[in-house]
Structure 1
Amino acid sequence: MRTAPWRDLDRIARPAVRALAGDLARAAHLLSPTEPPVVLDPDGTLLVTVGEDGQLWVLGPETGMPVRAFGDGGGVRGVRAAVFSADGGVLATADGEGLLHLWDVADGRVERTLTGTLRGVRLPAFDADRSVLAAAGDQETVHLWNLDTGIAMHALRHDGAQTVRAVAFSADGSLVATAGDDGTVRQWNPASGTARHTLTGHEGPVSAVAFSGPRLASCGEDGKIRVWDPVSGAAVTLMRTDSPLRCCGWSPDGRTLFAGGRGGLFGYDFHPGLTSR
């Protein structure tokens, strides 16, 4: 295991930090909720944040200085979350009024605005081929939209949870996982909207979920990191830390699992043969 406090993140190899990309940015926002969201694109070449004037800005990641603005200069108010698509071509932003805006990263203009029944929409997530978008709000339901048509597909109700804290798609788009404040992770078929598995074991709210090939990782306020077999729903591995965790993500090759929280950033070299009870 490798670990580093937040103040020492600049000492970690850049590829390792990029492995978490948006998850690290989301964790930083959770640790300082009064700050606007900051998100790094998949290539690690662009940072996007919201300025004091409410404008959505692209920053140079090396300098942190504004490069250009999104939109027409009118400001983007109340942005609660932002995420890039896997190819970096589209940025989704969620605001407190229940709106999701899809931005063309190349020209900085809104491609589409999605509306639904979400209250306090946040936590947007794209599937790998940018055909489906999922988003949760201040409630137990996650909504899915078909991005080719802009039409809502399904509402996934994470029963037992008051809020869903994280959403993630598998690489092939065949599964979507939701993390609830009831301590459970649920897996769904996004095409049909049906539940596949309910994964239990966390002792407190689950903060994040992340897929990597045949594995699903979750972490939570209990300081535990769990790895699951998403096909069977069986628990594979358990790691423990001494403080609440807010984000997790896999390295691009799937061999290292990172998790972060107030106690620092933790990195685990993953060995599928290890199991915990």
Structure 2
Amino acid sequence: MLMALVLRGVGAEPQALTYEEHIKPILREHCLKCHGEDEQKADLNLQTHASTLKGGSGGVAVVAGRSSQSLLFQAITDPDDGARMPPKKAAIPQAQIAMIKQWIDSGLRETSASKSMVAERDLSFKPAAGAGAKPESPAMPENLPEVKVAKTMRPLPVLAMDASPWTPLLAVAAQEHVRLLNVETQAEVGRLAFPEGVPQVIHFSRDGAVLMVGGGRPVKSGKVVLFDVKTGKRLAAIGDEVDSVIAADLSPDQQLVALGGSGKVVKVYSTTDGKLKYRITKHTDWITAVAFSADGKQLATADRAGGLHLWEAGTGRAVLTLAEHKASIRALDWRADSKVLASAGEDGLIIWWDVVDGWPAISKPNAHPPTRPAGVYGKLPNGVLTARFDRNGNLCTAGRDRTVRLWDASGKEIAAFAIADAQPLSAALSFDGKKIGGGDTAGNLHFWNLEAKK
């Protein structure tokens, strides 16, 4: 189903707060003594709407639609008592901070007659003609060789899975192998041996004919292996890491493999000869996710510190830095039209990025809110652990609230499935969009029927 929607800023527009009516009184109470007409510390004058937009010596004070990237908002919410503004005073009340945030995110209006400064952007889902076309004979396993499975003390957590884009096939990580199941019957149809160790990442190629498996043995070795889905034949083994591969992806033309892990470096290899094409060394922490765009033009890479960057897929030339996440990014995935990149992380954020200019077109800051158990105090983890698009622009996520959720192309939640006694780690939508498969920390597989949910 195609979704036609014009998005303004970060989704549905909040109530229109204005500088003159709502924000200036707050600034007068807390800020204008140091940042007004009489004195402008750091050359910042917040006395008028125009001077506030101008900013100061530290840069632009407010960015329309992005409170998280606005210096004013960062200064009044800094967790360090010595750095937070106003200095040597109590923090601005949370209700007033929320108003400043809402004013910035809704477009920095000066008066009720002003228009939002957040530009309208059309992110309706329209796959390019011919892109991701269905193959004449979609690949399904046929008489795969038998794989002997080692006995384990307890089931391996389901660290990774992916669904074929064209057949009812689900690939699921297991100990030194990958299980292949029929989503419709939930029966196992074959196995692929992965003696390299534990699969950490699994992706089908865009035509569903090749399965990419990355993983290895922690602090020992890591590799990416490409399998022919129909025959189970190993087509290529890429990389020679000294630690397990944590993140990997196969380019749409199947010519490149990008991989990364604890080495903080993204390596891009040719699949034809296995040689290194280029390295990306910008990241400062472990590489946690990499993803080629559906059109093969860009490569997105993310790390454990929340760093996220876009590169030219063929050359590794820098394109954009996408700054929003404040903690480890656990998942990246591109929508089938290559207009939108989804990122999800331990900070609880899911972001649908407009990759034309790196704008967070839709942002869900508390996408998987956990329920507070009785007697438990303090901050609860609300991280998002996986995020995968289907062919129609719907996004499937799993979070630390022990719930798998489905979002449409506008960022609206359309289904949610809770797991009572384990943490979901992986999830994927079936090729026809009718079922979701999920795996958890106890090694269990779950299947949910979306038609029944509707």
Q: TM class, shorter-chain normalised?
A: 0.7 to 0.9
Number of aligned residues? 254
AA partner of residue 172 (structure 1) = D
Matches within 5 A, 1:108-257: 108-159=274-325, 161-199=326-364, 200-203=366-369, 204-212=382-390, 213-231=392-410, 233-242=411-420, 243-257=422-436
Unaligned runs of 5+ in 1: none
Paired with 1:89 and 1:192, the residues of 2 have a C-alpha distance of 27
Distance 1:67-1:249 versus aligned 2 partners, 3 A rule: closer
Compute the TM-score of the two structures, normalised by the length of structure 2. 0.48
**2:17 corresponding residue in structure 1:** none
Contact 2:424 2:438 (8 Å CA) reproduced? yes
- What TM-score, normalized by structure 1, do the two folds share? 0.75
Match of 2:254 among 88, 102, 125: 88
Aligned partners of 2:383 and 2:399 also within 8 Å: yes
| C-alpha separation in 2, matches of 1:27 and 1:184 | 31
Asked if the contact 2:368/2:383 (under 8 Å) is kept, the reply is yes
Query: In the superposition, relative to structure 1, how do residues 170 and 67 fare at CA in structure 2: closer, same or farther (>3 Å)?
Result: closer
Please identify which structure carries the higher strand content.
1
**Structure 1 CA distance for aligned equivalents of residues 155 and 423 of structure 2:** 14
Query: 1:270 and 1:112, CA in 2 relative to 1: closer, same or farther beyond 3 A?
Result: same
Distance 2:232 2:432 in 1: 28
In 2 relative to 1, CA 15–127 (structure 1 residues): closer, same or farther, beyond 3 Å?
closer
**CA distance 1:57–1:211, shift in 2 (3 Å):** closer
Q: 1:59 to 1:136 in 2, by over 3 A?
A: closer
Distance 2:257 2:416 in 1: 33
In structure 2, what is the equivalent of residue 105 of structure 1?
A: 271
Q: 1:41 to 1:236 in 2, by over 3 A?
A: closer
Indicate the larger mover: 125-134 or 79-88: 79-88
Shift of 1:45: 5.5
Structure 1 pair 100–207 and aligned structure 2 pair: CA distance change class (3 A) = same
| Structure 2 gaps, min length 5 | 1-153, 178-196, 370-381
Q: What letter matches 1:269 in structure 2?
A: N
Q: Which amino acid aligns with 2:357?
A: S
**Aligned-partner Cα distance in 1 for 2:367–2:222:** 41
Q: Percent identity?
A: 24
- C-alpha spacing 1:53/1:162, structure 2 compared with 1 (3 Å): closer
3-state DSSP class of the match of 2:246? strand
Deviations 1:187-235 (A, max 9, x none): 111221111111234122111111111311111121111111222x222
